[in-house]
Structure 1
Amino acid sequence: MSAPESDHSPLLDARDISLERGGKLILDRVSVQIPPAEVAVVIGPNGAGKTSLLRVLLGLWQPTRGQVKRRRGLRIGYMPQRLQIEPVLPLSVRRFLTLRQRAPRAELLAHLERVGVPHLLDKPVQSLSGGEMQRVLLARALLNRPNLLVLDEPAQGVDIVGQGEVFRLIDDIRRETGCGVLMVSHDLHLVMAGADAVICLNQHVCCTGRPEEVSRHPEYQRLFPTADVQGIGIYKHDHNHVHDLHGEVHDLDDNGTGGSHGCGHAHHHGQGRPKR
């Protein structure tokens, strides 16, 4: 495992990222900064651009506009949302873990032990349950001894008990190694409870800040109207526009209701945390 970081500069700093693909605007002026040893969570509805943002941050896609700066020597461990493996492909967990890089059996066992599944080393990948597969994917991400863990829906296909275990495991690893964590998830309650910062995305950054701040933000509540925010402190934020569930922006008229005009911003999206 990596030693905790002594350098406090951002692991990753993305400024004003816009992305267009196939003539469609997917991301609009998104800014994200990931400090070491902190957990940042990107939340948003389906189609909000969460996975696209990760691909840009990882360097897999080039943004149409904006810039992504990564700390020199940054090592990233990536855990994808889904992994399609042909059911007839003879692939053991051991072989799967070493597809991208060689590692001795002892090291593979150590990482599997860390995520609680050393007994799976020689099992066929196709025989794994959803929870087992997520742990194996996490072990693979740790093989690179990352400074930054990037996790796309890490509890995908896992039952509610298993989800809590996965998130606790991620938090334990972060505390032990000092790595930063950037996570995309729709499991709002579980991930927001352990986050240092939450970025609410709907093509652009709707709001960002600590979990209790974002949970009380009107745009978060508009996007997730059934979310239970009991027990989380009230957060107020001056705003002169609202966003509907389709991402459309409407100015507030004198009565505080949304009109059908363009967007007049009362704040700069994605820059720092909201004022309290």
Structure 2
Amino acid sequence: MIEMKHITKTYGDLTVFSDFSLEIPEGEVLCLMGKSGRGKTTLLRMLMGLEQPDVGCITGLEGKKISVVFQEDRLLPGFTVRQNLYSVCESALQQEHMMRILTGLGLEEWIDREVAVLSGGMQRRVAICRALLVSYDFLILDEPFRGLDDKTREIAIKLVLEEAKGRTILLSTHDAEEGKLMGGKILNLDAYLT
């Protein structure tokens, strides 16, 4: 169980969280919903260790490997899809796995093209593929399906759920349909943080 206990987080005069607590059960899917500016990304950044709460603590992450799809693709623009993905592959087995994921996402024909020439939706899929290739216990997804059409989004969600089966997944999204397709518990921060 990953727990956020009595978290307070402020930026100057803006209080994003005040005495906020959350339990993320091991091996389950939790979908964070809420309007822009509600604190979804801040919450994820605290779980990643990129930001610290002003008050409170986070437990249950000790020894856990975290993989992330950020809101921004964070790809290496001067490199090909293959080079971007090889940057996280440590073995030939991972490279085979990479091809299976790319094929599942419909990107196998683009493997030797520079990511800069790919559409935004294709770049999103490369970022998803990269996150699934590393060894992880906890998968954090910050609006990972943004820019994908409905059919591609469904394919990507199905693939993520297959690849991350049995691991803890935390999804941040504005889209209730994505939360439904992920099949996890939905936590609406708009209602939770009144």
TM-score, scaled relative to structure 2:
0.86
Specify the alignment match of 1:31 in structure 2: 21
User: What do you get for the CA RMSD once the two structures are aligned?
Assistant: 2.3
Whole-angstrom CA distance in 2 between matches of 1:51 and 1:112: 30
User: Percent of pairs identical after alignment?
Assistant: 28
Specify the alignment match of 1:266 in structure 2: none
Matched AA of 2:85: L
Specify the alignment match of 1:81 in structure 2: 71
The SS at the match of 1:169 is: helix
2:31 to 27, 41, 46: 41
Question: 1:1-12 maps to which residues of 2 (within 5 A)?
Answer: 10=1, 12=2
1:185 to 150, 163, 173: 173
Give, in angstroms, the shift of residue 39 of structure 1.
0.6
Question: 1:206-221 maps to which residues of 2 (within 5 A)?
Answer: 206=193
Specify the alignment match of 1:273 in structure 2: none
1:156 to 146, 152, 174: 146
Matched AA of 1:200: N
Question: 1:214-253 maps to which residues of 2 (within 5 A)?
Answer: 243=194
**Larger relative contact order (C-alpha < 8 A, sep ≥ 6)?**
2
Number of positions where the alignment pairs a residue of Structure 1 with one of Structure 2: 191
Give, in angstroms, the shift of residue 24 of structure 1.
1.4
Q: 1:143 to 1:170 in 2, by over 3 A?
A: closer
1:110 is aligned to 2:97:
yes
Matched AA of 2:80: S
Whole-angstrom CA distance in 2 between matches of 1:65 and 1:98: 39
Mark the runs of 5 or more structure 2 residues left unpaired by the alignment. Answer: none
Give, in angstroms, the shift of residue 104 of structure 1.
4.2
Matched AA of 2:64: L
Whole-angstrom CA distance in 2 between matches of 1:84 and 1:72: 26
Whole-angstrom CA distance in 2 between matches of 1:119 and 1:110: 16
TM-score, scaled relative to structure 1:
0.62
Q: 1:105 to 1:127 in 2, by over 3 A?
A: farther
Flag the structure with larger Rg: 1
Specify the alignment match of 2:133 in structure 1: 143
Specify the alignment match of 1:18 in structure 2: 8
Q: 1:22 to 1:95 in 2, by over 3 A?
A: farther
Whole-angstrom CA distance in 2 between matches of 1:170 and 1:85: 19
The SS at the match of 1:166 is: helix
Give, in angstroms, the shift of residue 193 of structure 1.
4.3
Preserved CA contact (<8 Å) 1:109 1:121: no
Q: 1:50 to 1:95 in 2, by over 3 A?
A: same
Specify the alignment match of 1:234 in structure 2: none
Give, in angstroms, the shift of residue 22 of structure 1.
2.7
Give, in angstroms, the shift of residue 122 of structure 1.
1.9
Question: 1:251-270 maps to which residues of 2 (within 5 A)?
Answer: none
Give, in angstroms, the shift of residue 154 of structure 1.
1.2
Matched AA of 2:167: C
2:84 to 96, 99, 103: 96
Matched AA of 1:121: I
Matched AA of 2:172: V
Specify the alignment match of 1:213 in structure 2: none
Q: 1:155 to 1:23 in 2, by over 3 A?
A: same
